[in-house]
Copies of this chain bind each other. A is one copy, B any other.
Amino acid sequence: MHPDKKQTIINAAMELFADKGFEGTSIREMAAKAGVNIAMVNYYFGSKEKLFEAMVEEKSTYFRERLTEVLNDASKNELQKIDTIIEDYVNRITSQHKYHRVIHQELMLQQREALHENIIAVFAKNKEVLKKIIDQGMKKKVFRKVDPELTIVTLFGTMHQALLSKSMCKFLIAKDANFDPYTDEVFKKRLINHIKQVMHAHLSNK
């Protein structure tokens, strides 16, 4: 009938999971938000937990592409590749911050740990590509000798810290009450520039 009804449920669920957590979100709430009968969730997905897994799976495929082409782009040097990834990733998080919040919450908890592997697998590709670029840069002596893994941690950690908690973001940036970091282009630029500056200083060997 409605072939996108599953999708509607997944989208409603994700919003609620991001704002209230998995156990904080009830099936009745999701069904109401999606405009469907509460029985439809179990009809389509089998259970609340399987819906959650389906949501992670469905949203994560969105991020699995690209990035490898950056690695093999001969027109860019290592530092330019890092810059591209920074821009790319900030745009991803701002456009899909609810999904990233869900993922991040889930990884901090010690529940449904079987899911952690799936989530980590999405990051794996990104980490791999970044690691290769950093290693390459160090080999060519255009990068200074750094800790590759923790450099990646700093890269992602800065973005997540800046973008995944609105309260913390507002506090640190001290904007007015209706400031929204996910739509504010000025802030996005500011964040991108900062991370680039940090990474240039940290990596560059001049």
Binding site for B on A (CB under 8 A): 19-24, 101, 104-105, 107-111, 113, 116, 119-120, 123-124, 127, 144, 146-147, 149-154, 156-162, 164-168, 171-174, 190-191, 193-195, 197-198, 201-202
Contacts and interface: CB of A to CB of B under 8 A. Distances in A.
Given A108-B165, A157-B161, A164-B108, A190 B24 contact: no
Contacts of A123: 168, 171
Contacts of A150: 158, 162, 172, 190-191, 194-195
Contact of A153 (B22, B158, B197): B158
A35 B173 CA distance: 44
Contacts of A119: 167
A114 to B, nearest CB: 11
A161 B109 CA distance: 14
Nearest to A157: B161
Contact of A167 (B107, B153, B194, B201): B107
Given A107-B168, A123-B168, A167-B113, A194 B19 contact: no
A108 B111 contact: no
Contact of A158 (B113, B120, B158): B158
Contacts of A146: 194, 197
Nearest to A162: B153
Given A160-B161, A167-B116, A202-B202, A147 B190 contact: yes
